[in-house]
Structure 1
Amino acid sequence: MRRSPRPPGNISMSSTMATSPECGPVEMQRVVVTGGSGFVGASLVRRLLSMDWQVGLLLRPGFATWRVPDRQKRLSTHVVDLTDASSVETLLRRLRPRYVFHLAAHGAYSWQTDAARIANTNLEATRTLALASLNANVEAFVHTGSSLEYGRKRHAPSEDEPTEPEGAYAISKAAATAFCRDLARQSGVRMPTLRLYSVYGPWEEPRRLVPSLYLHAMAGKWPPLANPDTARDFVWIEDVIDALILVATRPLADPGAIFNIGTGRQTTLGEIVELVGKTTGCEAEPHWQSMPDRDWDTDIWRAETRHAATELGWIAQTTLRTGLYQTVEWLREDHDRLDFYRASVDLTSPPPTSSA
């Protein structure tokens, strides 16, 4: 595995403000990251710290602490309401970032259903932070979107296709993408959007599909499962982090460019259950459609990635088989971490008895 993430643990709210340590001939890069207590954001923070970048982490009040690195020399943490324009602008002027990575989001998980909070987090916070970034003279503001912005297509959609989002989350993400694209073209400042497909890997939310499959399979059973033909384009977390850093640091022909970040290959639920079973040795029989289909489930879901390959030179490098193996190894290598994940998922209920 390329990196060894730390086990879960609470961060100290008195995290040391990073200074400007000696970095040899390489210029110190100052960046700001939002959503750094989440899966993708925390993984990005770890990569940036490993590169000796100075990271200012903007966190919402009451943020989850278990993914956030503790006592890092080049990491400063700041609790702020991202919709408070004055506070955000003051903070960015003080931190003086070269790049801003905006990963804060709400509504991506099935249990996040508060429409007002979804709109405030995904659209209003994006608007506030993007405008504050312009005033702070950043070189790039990287916005993370979602493949759900396209709606249900019967093909792999390209970035220039009209979006047809369904539901509060997808609609708010599509609106935020449109805002960033328009602001970038007006200002000339790079504000690209990465439309992420199904990201998986270490530090993912325990109740999401891949961790849940592994945790149940290691216990010799499967969780409730939807239609086996449901498809997703699963992309490895470290490949996504590569794309985030590339799009921030590379000149773009279009300052408001949009890039699909996936593998270009779809995998059905049936196929990923089979792979997880082989990885763990689980011989239990899956009970299909013991969980109802979600509104957004479809049998066609994959990224069109030619634009990212052509303009960024980015192609996902990690096969699903390799990524799944590394994920289960990461879970197993630390007992405290594995116990934390197990405690976050209900493994006590009996398996489904029918596949109706």
Structure 2
Amino acid sequence: MSAAAPRRALVTGASGFVGAALVRRLLADGWEVHVLLRESSSTDGLPAASPQLQVHRHDGSTLQLIDIMRVAAPQVVFHLASLFLAAHQPQDIERLINANLLFSTQLVEAMAACGVRKLVNTGTSWEHYQDQAYNPVCLYAATKAAFTALLRYYVEVHGLRVVTLKLFDTYGAGDTRPKVLNLLKRLANDGSSLAMSPGEQLVDLVYIEDVLDAFLLACQQLDTQPQPMEEYGVSSGQPLPLKDIAALYAQVSGKPLNIEWGGRPYREREVMVPWHSYRGVPGWQPRVGLAQGLALFHAA
């Protein structure tokens, strides 16, 4: 990090895999980190509270969030909190809107009220089904895109400077999320079988340390980018068919994977080819190859 880089950050979503990893990286780099969590969120993935790490519990109100923002006085906010649902049910609407639109808007309202201007926001490649400029894969992706539209108001009226990182598939050591790699890990470890789709969909996996590098470079760019609002894709640049990833996982783990390919259909609006019209983060390249990353993931 350069000497001029911000050294006090507020992080949302720190109870999740990527958010907790970002907090640990920032602390290791000497930052003072303020974490914003719901009252029910776990801190199990975080270091113990200290003068360098302070945890703030949000009661859901805008006014209390403004108070937290004033106390934390961050020079930059990293916004990773979201509710991810690949497909929603009618009873999920309130949760999706509250997590991905209401809370996110409360956050930038608090930033505006407290004179905090720098935001690294998190979006998703799923906002761009079939590589279109606007075509959300699911309602989750639609809420992420909707918040970007709301952000434009705060950029124009309150002078926020924003970089949105649109993530592809993230993974890494210690990742316990119910995603496809943990299914493969289970098959390798217990020898069970699993029916999966035909497996021809391309999957773009980015290792967690590379993802964190992208967040920190995005933070640096907030001071120098010519436009107040930019967005970038965080992609390996080398998506592979799910079948090939499973074969590589079997090779890395040294265990056969008992998969019934085609035993279940593709899900509705399956992403067969990931978004590829993105711009990459200036100066960023992934450093951890897939074989190395899968080995680290499997060994954890």
Q: Cα deviations across residues 47-88 of structure 1 (Å, max 9, x unaligned)? A: 00101111111111211333222244411111114x521011
Length, aligned pairs only: 295
Match among 115, 118, 136 for residue 137 of structure 1: 115
Of Structure 1 and Structure 2, which has the larger fraction of its residues in strand? 2
Which residue is 1:230 aligned to?
Answer: 201
Q: Cα deviations across residues 263-285 of structure 1 (Å, max 9, x unaligned)? A: 12211110111011011122243
Match among 173, 176, 183 for residue 205 of structure 1: 176
Helix, strand or coil at the partner of 2:268: coil
- Is the counterpart of residue 241 in structure 1 residue 212 in structure 2? yes
Distance 1:204 1:111 in 2: 23
Q: Is the 8 A contact 1:147 1:195 kept in 2?
A: yes
Q: Cα deviations across residues 199-239 of structure 1 (Å, max 9, x unaligned)? A: 11123234211122112212223433222102221111111
* 1:183 to partner: Cα distance: 2.4
Q: Is the 8 A contact 2:167 2:234 kept in 1?
A: yes
Greater shift after overlay, 196-205 or 116-125? Answer: 196-205
Which residue is 1:121 aligned to?
Answer: 99
Distance 2:86 2:55 in 1: 25
What letter matches 1:189 in structure 2? L
TM-score by length of 1: 0.77
Which residue is 2:280 aligned to?
Answer: 308
What letter matches 1:211 in structure 2? N
* 1:182 to partner: Cα distance: 4.0
TM-score by length of 2: 0.90
Which residue is 1:85 aligned to?
Answer: 62
Distance 1:69 1:109 in 2: 30
* 1:103 to partner: Cα distance: 0.6
**Which runs of 5 or more structure 2 residues have no equivalent in the other structure?**
none
Greater shift after overlay, 170-179 or 212-221? Answer: 212-221
Q: Is the 8 A contact 1:213 1:223 kept in 2?
A: no
Helix, strand or coil at the partner of 1:223: strand
Q: Is the 8 A contact 1:43 1:203 kept in 2?
A: no
Which residue is 1:351 aligned to?
Answer: none
- Is the counterpart of residue 188 in structure 1 residue 166 in structure 2? no
Which residue is 1:323 aligned to?
Answer: 293
Match among 45, 53, 57 for residue 31 of structure 2: 53
- Is the counterpart of residue 294 in structure 1 residue 264 in structure 2? no
Distance 2:109 2:94 in 1: 21
What letter matches 2:38 in structure 1? R
Aligned Cα root-mean-square deviation (Å): 2.2
Match among 198, 202, 217 for residue 188 of structure 2: 217
Q: 1:117 to 1:258 in 2, by over 3 A?
A: same
Distance 2:176 2:92 in 1: 19
Helix, strand or coil at the partner of 2:214: helix
* 1:110 to partner: Cα distance: 5.6
Q: 1:226 to 1:66 in 2, by over 3 A?
A: farther
**Which runs of 5 or more structure 1 residues have no equivalent in the other structure?**
1-24, 332-356
Q: Is the 8 A contact 2:36 2:57 kept in 1?
A: yes
Q: Is the 8 A contact 1:180 1:192 kept in 2?
A: no
Q: Cα deviations across residues 92-125 of structure 1 (Å, max 9, x unaligned)? A: 0011100101111002456897121111111111
Q: Is the 8 A contact 2:188 2:250 kept in 1?
A: yes
* 1:91 to partner: Cα distance: 0.5
- Is the counterpart of residue 107 in structure 1 residue 84 in structure 2? yes
Identity %: 30
What letter matches 2:180 in structure 1? L
Distance 2:216 2:5 in 1: 16
* 1:289 to partner: Cα distance: 2.7
